[in-house]
Structure 1
Amino acid sequence: MAGRLIYLIGPSGSGKDSLLDAARPRLAERGCRIVRRVITRSAEAVGEAAQGVSAEQFVAMQAEGAFALSWQANGLSYGIPTDIDAWLAAGEDVLVNGSRAHLAQARERYPALLVVLLSVDQAALRQRLLARGRESVADIDARLARNARFTAQLLAGMGAGLLVLDNSGPLEHTVECLLRYLDPSAR
């Protein structure tokens, strides 16, 4: 029996990394692997625990077929290692921190993937982005407008094939909702 590919998406600042960190031990108990992405940024950069590589290393890895999925966003390159294919074939569930913009390509390669959209109240998201201090107010407002358009399009096009998790409240509540959704006995 093949495992399930769980494709976590959401806007920057929605708390994807926090959710993955908080859910990791309980997902591991259930035999679900959380994939460590390869990203063209320094390993010391603040954010998720990813494998940082140079742009040249990324291109070489991509040419060698090291990625099951890869994309570019916000000036960076992202890759999901091909290890996921063996894990899925062995019946293991695999959770990846994906890209909303790359969802169509991911669904093409993995038609049965489960999509989990992590959302957050727009006002709270704006405050989180401002607190990070990475972007100007104008850039944040543009990001929020793009996010609202993308979410509306996604909700209109996905219907029942999409779980929306609201991460505006306590993180533990979001973790519990994710675990309930992924529980095979609950389906």
Structure 2
Amino acid sequence: MTGALVYVMGPSGAGKDSVLARARAMLAPEAPVAFAHRYITRPADVGGENHVSLSRAEFALRRGHGLFAYHWHAHGNDYGIGREIQAWRAIGLTVVVSGSREHYEKIAGSDADLHPLLITAPSGALQSRLAARGRENAVEAAQRLARSTAYSIRDPRLVTIVNDGPIDVAADSFVRTLARLHCSPGALRRA
């Protein structure tokens, strides 16, 4: 049985990493869910996102050898999700990836077990979160904010979580979405 692929996306500042980290902590250790890390051509110590930092040359080498299941370019950086997710899915794990809305438009419909999930927030929250995280200068933050409405995902399977309150509320919504993909949803949560 091939595991599902939950493709998480949303505008910069929506709190995707925070929601995923909290949801991950809510899951039981034995839950059959694997969270993929991203490979990014950005230093590991910039902005708090947990990722594997690669130089542009390292990224190009991996891309050239087919080591990415998905890859895209955004905000001046290259992003990739490793092919290891295919092995995880092959053994029945549900795999969660943090992707790009623009890239999703290119892969939508390519996988029957692909489940799109949009994490978003009101414009004011996006703006204040971008300013607070300090990853971008004012011009870059404004560009990211402008992109927040640039993509509209038109997929009937899309689940949207509005992250505009306590992080536990959004994370609980995420865990409930994962539970709907499994026959025994009670087994996903920590006791």
- What is the TM-score with the length of structure 2 in the denominator? 0.86
2:40 alignment partner AA: I
Write the mapping of 1:1-187 to structure 2, written as runs, cut at 5 A: 1-27=1-27, 28-133=29-134, 134-136=136-138, 140-150=141-151, 153-154=152-153, 157-158=154-155, 160-183=156-179, 184-185=182-183
Q: Using the alignment, how far apart are the partners of 2:167 and 2:30 within structure 1?
A: 19
1:37 alignment partner AA: R
Percent same amino acid among aligned pairs?
36
Aligned-pair CA distance for 1:142: 4.6
Aligned-pair CA distance for 1:45: 2.1
RMSD: 1.8
* Bigger helix share: 1
Aligned-pair CA distance for 1:111: 4.1
Give the number of aligned pairs: 180
SS at match of 1:161: coil
1:135 alignment partner AA: N
Q: Using the alignment, how far apart are the partners of 2:55 and 2:15 within structure 1?
A: 25
SS at match of 1:117: strand
Native 8 Å contact 1:17 1:47 kept in 2: no
Q: Using the alignment, how far apart are the partners of 2:178 and 2:74 within structure 1?
A: 28
Residue deviations 1:22-72, cap 9 Å, x none?
112334542100001111112222222111010000000111111011111
1:29/1:173 CA distance change after superposition, 3 Å = farther
Stretch deviating more after TM superposition (8-17 or 38-47): 38-47
1:169 alignment partner AA: G
1:106/1:29 CA distance change after superposition, 3 Å = farther
Aligned-pair CA distance for 1:79: 0.9
Between the two structures, name the one with larger relative contact order (CA 8 Å, sep ≥ 6): 2
1:13 alignment partner AA: G
2:113 alignment partner AA: A
Structure 2 unaligned residues grouped into runs of 5+ = 186-191
Q: Using the alignment, how far apart are the partners of 2:131 and 2:39 within structure 1?
A: 26
